[in-house]
A and B are shown apart, each in its own frame.
Chain A
Amino acid sequence: MTNPDHLRLLHSMLRVRRMEELCAELYTQEKIRGFLHLYIGEEAVVTGVMSLLRPQDNVMATYREHGHALLKGVSAKLIMAEMFGKVEGCSKGRGGSMHLISAENRFFGGNAIVAAGIPQAAGLALAAKRHETMNMAALWKIPILFCCENNLYAMGTALSRSQSQQEIVKKAESYNIAAVSVDGMNIFDVIEKTHAALDFVKREQKPYFLEFKTYRFRPHSMFDPELYRKKEEVQKWKERCPIDFLTKYLIEHDGASQDVLNKLKIEVEQEMQDAVSFAENGTLEPVENLEKNIYENDL
C-alpha cells in the first residue's frame, strides 16, 4: 500500500519542478521576460516546510519563490499569469517572477532585495503575535522560523569565496537563536527537522533557524553563463535529486506502482498546461490604470 502522505509530497515536488521547467521554456519563447530564477534541485526544502504550515501562517520568500507561492496555495494559473504580466496574475502583473504576492494565501512575496524580507518577516510575526496576545511579557520573543536555503552560491560566488565562517548555523547561534542544519535534498530530513522547529516556535514563541543544505541545478537566472562552477559538480548534485530520491523511496519502501507514479505526472502536467493556457489567454491591464495603487486613494 502506497503511503498517501509520501505520494502527496512527491506530487508537490513534481508540481514545483514541472512549473519551473515550463517557465524556462516559456522564457526562451519570450513569453516570460525580466529576471527568472529557477528552483530546480531544491524542491525538497520548500515541499517539506510548506507541508507543515497552516493557512494562517505568514510566509516571506526571496526572488526564487515560484514554488513557495505554489505550495502556499497560490494557484499555478495565477502564478503563470503573473509571469506573463497579465492582470489576472496574483500581483495583477505588477510584480512578475520575483514578486509573487497573495495576501489571501498569506504569501507576502517575492523580495528581490537580498535579505530585505528578513526584518519584514519579523515585523509580520510581531503583528501576528500582537493580534494573538496583546499582553506579552517580552516583545522580542517573536515566533518566526528562518529558513536559509543554502544552495552554496550567491549568484556566482561560492560560499567558500565570500564567507570566513561557512557554518551558517553558527551565525544564527551567535544571535542566541536555536539553529539546526538540514539535508535539503532529503524530504524526510526536511520534514523531521522543520516539524521540531515549528513545535519550538509555537511553544516558546521564539525564533528558530534552519539551514537547508541544497543545490540549484540551474544557473542563478536565465542570464547566467555559469562560469563559476564545474559541470562535474552539478552532475554530482544531480545524482542526489530530491525527486528521484523520493520516487525511489516510494517504489522500494511503499511499493508504489509505475501506474500510480505516471498518473501523478499526468495530473501535474495537466495542471501546469492549464496554467499556461490561462496565462496566454489573460488580459493586459489597460495603460490608463498605470498610476493606480500608488496610494490607497488616488491623488
Chain B
Amino acid sequence: MKMTYREALREGLQEALETDPRVYLMGEDVAAYGGTYAVTKGFLEKYGPEKIIDAPLSEVGFTGIGVGAAIGGLRPIVEIMTVNFSLLALDQIVNGASILRHMSGGQLSVPLVIRMTTGGGRQLAAQHSNSFEGWFAHIPGIKILTPSTVEDARSCLYFALLDPDPVLIFEHALLLNSSAEVTEKPTRESLFKAAVRKEGSTLTLITYGGMLPRCLEAAHEFDGTGDKIEVIDLRCLRPLDNEAIFRSVRKTHRVLIVDEGWRSGSLSAEVSARIMESCFFDLDAPVQRLCRKEVPIPYARHLEIAAIPQKQDILNRIQEILS
C-alpha cells in the first residue's frame, strides 16, 4: 500500500484519536482550516470540537495549556504550526514541560506531545526556514523525534504518546509529499533508536529528518564503485543512540555528519564529540560535518540552495574524505 508522509501523519493522528479517549489535538488552524499542511483536514467534522481545537495565536498559551492538561492526566497533542513559532513557546517547553518531573521530586509527569514542521528549502526566507531541532536536543527532560520516512511518520505519534515524558516531533516540510510503499499494519520498531538506512563499509553518513533522502541518493551514487557508504538515520536526537553510531564508526572508520542546522554549537558537533570521545582510535580520518551555512536562510532560490546541504555537496565531501 502506497501512502505519503502527510497521509502517514494523518493515520497516526487518527489512530491516536480513535484509541485513546484522553487524546486531544490543539493548535493554530488545526480544526476549521484543516491544518496549515492539510494534515488534519476533515478532523473537526469527524472527531468534534472537543477533540480538535483551534487555538488563538499564542504559542506560549496553548503549549502551557497542554502542559497543565498532561499533568492532569490527558494526552494532549499540541501542534505548533512551524518550528519557527516554537520560539514563542520555549518558556513552557524549557521552563515547564521539561523540568517539572525533576523539580517536583518525581511527583509530576508531563506526557505531552508537541508536533511541528521544520526545515528550509521552500523559498520561505529567514523567518520560516529554521531547523531548531538540534537546539531542543540540548534540553534534558524532553525527547526529540525526527521522522524521515513514511513509515516513521506513521508510527512517531504512537511512540510519542506511549512515552510518559514530553516528546517533540519534528516533521520536515519537504517530506510531506514524499511517498512510499508501506505494510498494511505499521511496524512497531522503536523510533527512539537510530536506523541503518543503508549498509556500507567504507564511510558512515550520519543524518536525520529532511536530509535523509539526499544522503541516501548521494550514498547510492557510490554503489558499483569500490566504496560502500553506510547511512545512519538518527531518528531520535535526544536521547542519542550512541551504540548505533559507534557500531557503524567502528566498522567504517570514516564519518560525515549531515545536519540541516547551523554548524556552531550544533547537533552535528555533539555527535562528532561523542565519536571523538569513544571511537578516537577507530578513526582513519577526522570526523567531517556538513551543515547549513551560518546565515539566515535567504529568499532567492540559488542562495537558499547554496545555504542548505545539497546532494552534490554531500557527494563532494564524501569524495574528499575518501581520497
Pairwise interchain contact B105-A120, C-beta atoms closer than 8 A: no
Contacts of A26 in B (CB 8 A): none
CB-contact partner of B73 in A94, A108, A131, A293, under 8 A? A131
Pairwise interchain contact B72-A101, C-beta atoms closer than 8 A: no
B120 within 8 Å of A (CB atoms): no
Contacts of B76 in A (CB 8 A): 123
Q: Given the interface contacts A58-B72, A127-B74, A131-B73, does A119 sit within 8 Å of B105 by beta carbon?
A: no
Pairwise interchain contact B105-A123, C-beta atoms closer than 8 A: no
CB-contact partner of B68 in A92, A126, A292, under 8 A? A126
Tell me the smallest distance from the CB of B48 to a CB of chain A, in Å. 9
Report how far A299 CA is from B72 CA in the complex, Å.
Answer: 25
B102-127 CB mask vs A (1 if < 8 Å, else 0) is: 11111111000000000000000000
Contacts of B95 in A (CB 8 A): 113, 116
Q: Chain A: which residue is nearest B53 at the CB level?
A: A139
Contacts of B65 in A (CB 8 A): 119-120, 122-123, 126
Pairwise interchain contact B108-A126, C-beta atoms closer than 8 A: no
Report how far A121 CA is from B66 CA in the complex, Å.
Answer: 10
B286 within 8 Å of A (CB atoms): no
Pairwise interchain contact B68-A94, C-beta atoms closer than 8 A: no
Tell me the smallest distance from the CB of B274 to a CB of chain A, in Å. 14
Tell me the smallest distance from the CB of A143 to a CB of chain B, in Å. 12
CB-contact partner of B71 in A91, A120, A294, under 8 A? A120
A233 within 8 Å of B (CB atoms): no
Q: Given the interface contacts A127-B73, A131-B73, does A119 sit within 8 Å of B68 by beta carbon?
A: yes
A284 within 8 Å of B (CB atoms): no
Contacts of B104 in A (CB 8 A): 91-92, 94-95, 99, 101, 103, 109
Pairwise interchain contact A119-B63, C-beta atoms closer than 8 A: yes
CB-contact partner of A124 in B60, B68, B92, B105, under 8 A? B68
Tell me the smallest distance from the CB of B82 to a CB of chain A, in Å. 20
Pairwise interchain contact A296-B165, C-beta atoms closer than 8 A: yes
Q: Given the interface contacts A127-B68, A139-B53, does A108 sit within 8 Å of B108 by beta carbon?
A: yes
Q: Given the interface contacts A124-B68, A124-B69, does A103 sit within 8 Å of B74 by beta carbon?
A: no
Pairwise interchain contact A293-B101, C-beta atoms closer than 8 A: yes
Pairwise interchain contact B68-A101, C-beta atoms closer than 8 A: no
A-B contact count (CB 8 A): 130
CB-contact partner of A94 in B61, B66, B91, B102, under 8 A? B102
Pairwise interchain contact A294-B101, C-beta atoms closer than 8 A: yes
Contacts of A99 in B (CB 8 A): 103-104
CB-contact partner of B105 in A101, A126, A134, A135, under 8 A? A101
B84-107 CB mask vs A (1 if < 8 Å, else 0) is: 000000011001100011111111
B233-276 CB mask vs A (1 if < 8 Å, else 0) is: 00000010000000000000000000000000000000000000
Pairwise interchain contact A94-B105, C-beta atoms closer than 8 A: yes
Pairwise interchain contact A95-B101, C-beta atoms closer than 8 A: no
Pairwise interchain contact A116-B92, C-beta atoms closer than 8 A: yes
Report how far A90 CA is from B105 CA in the complex, Å.
Answer: 8
Pairwise interchain contact B106-A92, C-beta atoms closer than 8 A: yes
A108-138 CB mask vs B (1 if < 8 Å, else 0) is: 1100010010111111111110110011101
Report how far A44 CA is from B131 CA in the complex, Å.
Answer: 50
B186 within 8 Å of A (CB atoms): no
A102 within 8 Å of B (CB atoms): yes
CB-contact partner of A123 in B21, B69, B106, under 8 A? B69
CB-contact partner of A101 in B92, B107, B165, under 8 A? B107
Tell me the smallest distance from the CB of B174 to a CB of chain A, in Å. 30
Q: Chain A: which residue is nearest B75 at the CB level?
A: A127
Pairwise interchain contact A91-B68, C-beta atoms closer than 8 A: no
Report how far A93 CA is from B104 CA in the complex, Å.
Answer: 9
Report how far A141 CA is from B137 CA in the complex, Å.
Answer: 36
Report how far A100 CA is from B53 CA in the complex, Å.
Answer: 32
Contacts of A131 in B (CB 8 A): 72-73
Pairwise interchain contact A136-B50, C-beta atoms closer than 8 A: yes
Q: Chain A: which residue is nearest B72 at the CB level?
A: A127
Pairwise interchain contact A121-B68, C-beta atoms closer than 8 A: yes
Contacts of B140 in A (CB 8 A): 294
Tell me the smallest distance from the CB of B64 to a CB of chain A, in Å. 3
Report how far A108 CA is from B104 CA in the complex, Å.
Answer: 9
- Nearest 3 Cβ contacts at the A-B interface: A123-B68, A127-B72, A92-B105
Tell me the B residues contacting A by CB distance below 8 Å.
21-22, 49-50, 53, 60-74, 76, 91-92, 95-96, 100-109, 140-141, 143, 164-165, 239
- Beyond the given A123-B71, A125-B72, A139-B50, could you list 10 further A-B residue pairs with CB under 8 A, ordered by the A residue number? A58-B72, A91-B105, A108-B71, A113-B95, A123-B69, A123-B76, A126-B68, A127-B74, A130-B22, A130-B74
Tell me the A residues contacting B by CB distance below 8 Å.
58, 60, 89-95, 99, 101-104, 108-109, 113, 116, 118-128, 130-131, 134-136, 138-139, 292-297, 299
